[in-house]
Chains A and B, each alone.
Chain A
Amino acid sequence: MKRLLYLFVILSFIAAGCSQKKGNNYIRASYKTDIHIVSGNDIHGAIENMPMLAAAVDSLRAIDKSLLVLSAGDNRTGNPLNDLYTIPAFPMVALMNYIGFDASTFGNHEFDSDQPLLSKLVTLSNFPYICANVFPDAELGIQNIPYKFFDVKGVKVCVLGVVQLGIQGTPDSNPDHLKGIRFEGVEETINKYLYLRDQCDVFILLSHIGYEDDCAMAEKFPQFDLIVGGHTHTQIEGGELHNGVLITQNVNKLQRVTHTILTVENGKVTGKRAENIEIASSKNKNPFVAQIVEKFSDNPELKRVLAVATAPFSTYEELGLLMCDALKEMTHSEIGFTNMGGVRYDTHPKGDFTVDDVLRLDPFGNGVVIMELTPKEIEDMLIACFYADRNRFPYTSGIKCDVEYTANAKNEPEKVVKLTLTTDDGKPLDPNKKYKVAGNAYAVTVSDSPREDEGREFGSISSDLLIKFLTEKKQINYSGRRCLTEHIVK
């Protein structure tokens, strides 16, 4: 009798737990269960919000310890405490490891790490990077995988990952960091992996392609149960159903994450719902994660000496010229320029120039824009910058500016009446030539003047270029250097 009862229990378990056999020798789950997923996107180095995320994940794990935690990419870039750590972007990886992320896809900003660093970060991650349209050369050692199966309470969940490609056919990042990596189109890639649908109960696209393209993929590929999206920082209230596919995404820096519940019955998703969880404004923190964040915030890297100033800086212009030199040289341009308001202090003593000094001088995290401009377009842009920057003329490297103004009642510059540009050795610019000009993204944006080439993002922020510039120079002396001569005319 006991033996019969035992046999009955075993048979019942098999019948209830994993019965129906389908294609590819895969056994579908045949009971009803809920799969819980927490997904974030475009975290952009917001380590300060990780204690609140950890608390939310802890609470959900208390309900369902099989919780899947996913990131739709762009985990780094946007916070110097993360991006300038001794191993850049490691704090976010360490915190994601501690929280127990199950997977991330690559966002375009993962490629802000150069190839050796990306390889290191992937190695240091306890979770896989799922990205099917990225093919790094073997010698780079970047170990991404195209998809992964997760066994969640006996339900087979397949996650396929993809990253955004811009018009060049590569993710929007520094082109130098993409060398040795091949990329394939998103749609073409998904088509290749559609067979996975028949090998799982739940098919998820972990996508860093943006909301619009997520919708397009949902229309083309109703095989997906869920698209966990990122890239466009789109706040979707809960989730949106497109062609039967649930799409989720949130604004950046962990303002919110999405908690998705998929009900799986007899190997099919029969229910989908999603809610947003407020993270950044939450008062609940995981105290241990808070301690780790505190540790990372006391970043010894900020004290690192980049170069030695052999003479003190004593004017905004000298420091502005340093910033412009970095823009020019590190982008291999002929001219660099920055708005005067972008230079945040006017003196620096003789001696060490540290990472912290750079971040105080250029704290805005501005991108860098490269343009090809005629001398007339350069003149117009610099004059537009003057008016947009409260009548303060921008600083330049590679050219010198001699500018005449009329004055207001306080004898301050009011209107530019004449601007003469010359090369560093005093020659006029060639009117038939287009010059390669690099400016910080803010200065370029506010300088709204007619030009054929609006430019393109270089793929680095200006403070990173200054850090690299100083590291290369080792010694600097800007004492007495000028790029700007100003006259008030009556």
Chain B
Amino acid sequence: MIVKVNNEEVRIFKGASVKHALLRYILRIKADVSNIEKLQVKDCKGHQIDQDAPLKEGDSITVKL
């Protein structure tokens, strides 16, 4: 499935959680993954969501690195 992280498309397995999309995105942009679990993630409406939150096709999340 395809989701968006910071407006960039990320292809990821069906049933992935926020942490998986985030991990793939961060590795792709070669940013630091060591503090990944502390990152604050928001959904497309600006609500905080935790990293175990499930994702579905087309979901969009943002994270401040």
Contacts and interface: CB of A to CB of B under 8 A. Distances in A.
Contacts of A459: 15
Contacts of A70: none
A454 B20 contact: no
A456 interface: yes
A172 B54 CA distance: 10
B47 A234 contact: yes
B43 A457 contact: no
A319 interface: no
B15 A234 contact: no
Contacts, number: 79
Nearest to B57: A167
B65 interface: no
A234 B61 CA distance: 12
Given A251-B48, A445-B23, A454-B1, A232 B54 contact: yes
Contact of A234 (B1, B23, B43): B43
Contacts of B20: 441, 445
Main secondary structure of the interface of A (DSSP, over half): loop
Contacts of A448: 24, 27-28
A53 B19 CA distance: 26
Contacts of A251: 48-50, 53
Interface in B1-59: 1, 11-17, 20, 23-24, 27-28, 43, 45, 47-50, 52-54, 56-57
A204 interface: no
A235 interface: yes
Interface of B: 1, 11-17, 20, 23-24, 27-28, 43, 45, 47-50, 52-54, 56-57
24 contacts: A42-B52, A44-B52, A78-B52, A167-B57, A172-B54, A211-B43, A211-B47, A233-B52, A233-B53, A235-B49, A251-B48, A253-B50, A255-B50, A441-B13, A441-B20, A444-B13, A445-B24, A448-B24, A454-B1, A454-B14, A455-B14, A456-B13, A457-B13, A457-B15
